[in-house]
Structure 1
């Protein structure tokens, strides 16, 4: 079967395919059930499939759905790898762990954020300390979150953001829009004020599944930034850090650091690598986001704005709910075989290189 055949169009379908592939591959499967349900009343869960010894010293983790709707891509890749027998010939003392739908609510409801409107990849920080400030977001809050989706309101939003970019530069504009904010709970890129369910659950999974490991590599699959079907391995450490140097050795030019502006991603607080570093302190941990491009950034921005507007105006009960859900899904998932084959092939290569790294 082609890799494209393992991708799905709903969370329920994606979960069923993933679990079937995991069991067929002989994986040990654990379920972490979410307290809420999906659009059809279905169970939501973060599922974990493990191939390899329980006490493995070396672990390769592959994650999907940190940003909900981006799970369409990550789940398809995970299912394809399992179906291809990726874990059949692991190096000695090594395990492969697939963490499916880290944010199952966002995945099921076609949202990038979770049930609390929280961007999970901005939530992994110490909430007892003052939260990071984002003055650019504060200045642009009304433009980023337009009053409605009329052509006039969206045009006004674009003009305000364009003026900000012309004054401060495009990196500053991207930072304002995507670096997270902790003051507008109903706004885009909200990081939350406390650890959310997916944060707590992922930490528990890391402790349970990876606590005995000496070396851990985690590849978190994302979409939405960059050229169509092209992957970048995002490192949140500076280029002088050992983590970046390891990643560069293993994966070459696709590795870029968010520190200093070399990445397609802004340097954001509270992302998943923080979680892995904290839960596996004292071990060699290499965690990065494998980001695949979809559509032009302007379309991605409109999708996020539309989704947030819907959230503030009735959510799934709004007559525009189905239209907006399709808009955001199409911004983060390309339903085309060539794209699916390309992202799977690149992930396959990244994971193979990670397993080779354990031999050195």
Structure 2
């Protein structure tokens, strides 16, 4: 089968392909069913496929769908890896743990966020403490969350964002847009005010699947930032940290730190590596996001704005729902064979290098 044939056109299809490939690979399967149903009444779940010893000292984890709609990319890659020799040739004392559709609701409904309008990758923080502030977001609220998605409103939004960038710098504008916010539950990039279902579920999975290991590597597959098909391994630790040094030794120049400012991603609070550090204390944890570029950032921004507007105006019942769903899906998933092949090949190389690193 071609690599592209492992990618899907819906969450339901992606889940079926993933589970079928996992069974063929001899994986042990488990699932956490979501309390809500999908757009066609289908079951939503975060599925886990494990290959290798239950008491493995070393674990390589691969995640998909943290940002729901990005699951089209991550699920296809996971299914491709399960369907080839990669998943059947693990080193001794090593297990492969694939976590499929960490945010199944967002995946099924073609949203980046979850059922609570929460960006999951901003939710892994201590909600009993004051939440991080984002003054740039507050200043640009009307531009980031336009009144409608007419060409005029979007043009006005672009002008305001451009003016802010000219005054404060592109980095400040990107931080305002993408670093998350905790004051507007109905706005873009809301990080939530408590741990959401996917947060709690992922923590339970880590305790069940990875607590016995001494060394854990987690590659969380993302899409939407960067040049088309180009991969960057995003590290949320400083360059002086042990995790960054391991990542750079294994994966080379594709590793970039959000802390030291040379990543395509802003330094955001509450991302998935925080969860791994908290739940797997005492282990050597190397966790990062493998981000693949899709379309120009301007198109990604418009898609996020349109998605949030739709959420405020009837959601999937709005007559424009199908149009907006396609807009956001196209922003985070390139339905072209060459793109699917290159993101799969890069993930395969990253994971193979991680397995070699775990043996050193």
TM, length-normalised to structure 1 = 1.00
Provide the rounded CA distance (Å) in 2 between the counterparts of 1:278 and 1:107. Answer: 26
- Cα deviation for residue 260 of structure 1 reads 2.2
- Cα deviation for residue 359 of structure 1 reads 1.4
- Cα deviation for residue 158 of structure 1 reads 0.6
Provide the rounded CA distance (Å) in 2 between the counterparts of 1:181 and 1:82. Answer: 37
Provide the rounded CA distance (Å) in 2 between the counterparts of 1:152 and 1:293. Answer: 28
SS state of the match for residue 165, structure 2?
Answer: helix
- Cα deviation for residue 93 of structure 1 reads 0.6
**Residue 272 of structure 1: aligned partner:** 272
**Residue 2 of structure 1: aligned partner:** 2
2:270 aligned with 1:236: no
**Residue 80 of structure 1: aligned partner:** 80
**Residue 57 of structure 2: aligned partner:** 57
**Residue 246 of structure 1: aligned partner:** 246
TM, length-normalised to structure 2 = 1.00
**Residue 306 of structure 1: aligned partner:** 306
Count residues with an aligned counterpart: 360
SS state of the match for residue 213, structure 2?
Answer: coil
Query: Which stretches of structure 1, 4 residues or longer, exceed 6 Å deviation after superposition?
Result: none
Provide the rounded CA distance (Å) in 2 between the counterparts of 1:212 and 1:279. Answer: 12
The aligned runs of 1:130-149 (5 Å cut-off) are 130-149=130-149
Structure 1 unaligned regions, length at least 5 = none
- Cα deviation for residue 17 of structure 1 reads 0.2
Q: Are the aligned partners of 1:18 and 1:78 in contact in 2 as well (CA < 8 Å)?
A: yes
Q: Are the aligned partners of 1:25 and 1:85 in contact in 2 as well (CA < 8 Å)?
A: no
What is the root-mean-square deviation in Å for CA atoms of aligned residues?
0.4
- Cα deviation for residue 298 of structure 1 reads 0.1
2:223 aligned with 1:223: yes
Provide the rounded CA distance (Å) in 2 between the counterparts of 1:287 and 1:260. Answer: 17
- Cα deviation for residue 152 of structure 1 reads 1.1
**Residue 355 of structure 1: aligned partner:** 355
Provide the rounded CA distance (Å) in 2 between the counterparts of 1:198 and 1:59. Answer: 21
Deviation by residue 1:127-159 (Cα, 9 ceiling, x = unmatched): 000000000000001110000011111111111
Deviation by residue 1:65-100 (Cα, 9 ceiling, x = unmatched): 000000000000000000013221111110000000
Provide the rounded CA distance (Å) in 1 between the counterparts of 2:357 and 2:151. Answer: 51
- Cα deviation for residue 287 of structure 1 reads 0.1
Provide the rounded CA distance (Å) in 1 between the counterparts of 2:260 and 2:211. Answer: 32
SS state of the match for residue 118, structure 2?
Answer: coil
